[in-house]
Amino acid sequence: HQRDGENANSALLVGVEPADFPSYHPLAGVEFQRKWERLAFQLGGGNYRAPVQLTGDFLADRSSKEWGGVRPTYKPGVTFAQLKDCLPHYIVETLKEAILYFDNKIKGFAMPDSVLTGVETRSSSPVRIKRDDNYLSNIQGIYPVGEGAGYAGGIMSSAVDGCRVAEKIMEKYAPL
């Protein structure tokens, strides 16, 4: 992806917990993701165009009608939509709060004509493999660790989780 384009981007992530899922089935997180992705796909027109809303309109709960000074460059294109129609209510409210908070720290973050593009649902694993207090799964000798196991959201938190599990294994097999 080109890095010398006219726009910059960033991501706002809202934490989602298993209690937010429709059930406690092991794949309920995948079901949750698919629901919101399906809605976003439909809002974009069903042709891989992304649903977008101007930040000022998102904060004011109104539909975007025309571009301001920022024009998205996403290919295959974008469609104006109310992002609240493809996100859970609590995520919409958390995003609004975060945008205003960041604007207090970084003036212009909530610029009314900046463009919000949604939805990104793949920041970490939608599946969490169960493990006990010793970090073991229900299969002896298997230690689910890091992002793929559902216990981290990136390389640093995966590394921290891996260190914790390694320390627990060392306590058991090679105590100091």
Name the residue type at position 61: D
Closest to 85 measured CA to CA, from 115, 51, 59, 57? 51
- CA 110 to chain centroid, in Å, comes to 19
pLDDT, tens only, 116-140:
998 888 777 888 899 999 999 999 9
Query: Please, what is the average pLDDT of the chain?
Result: 92
CA dihedral angle for residue 138, residue 140, residue 141, residue 144, rounded to 10 degrees = 0
Cα distance between residue 169 and residue 151, in whole Å: 17
Band of pLDDT at residue 163, cut at 50, 70 and 90: very high
Residue-level pLDDT at 77: 95
Band of pLDDT at residue 2, cut at 50, 70 and 90: low
Residue 1 has pLDDT above 70, yes or no: no
Tell whether pTM > 0.85.
no
Which of 2-6, 27-31, 38-42, 97-101 shows the lowest per-residue confidence on average (mean pLDDT)?
2-6
Residue 52, SS3? Answer: strand
For the residues 25-32, what does the mean pLDDT come to?
Answer: 91
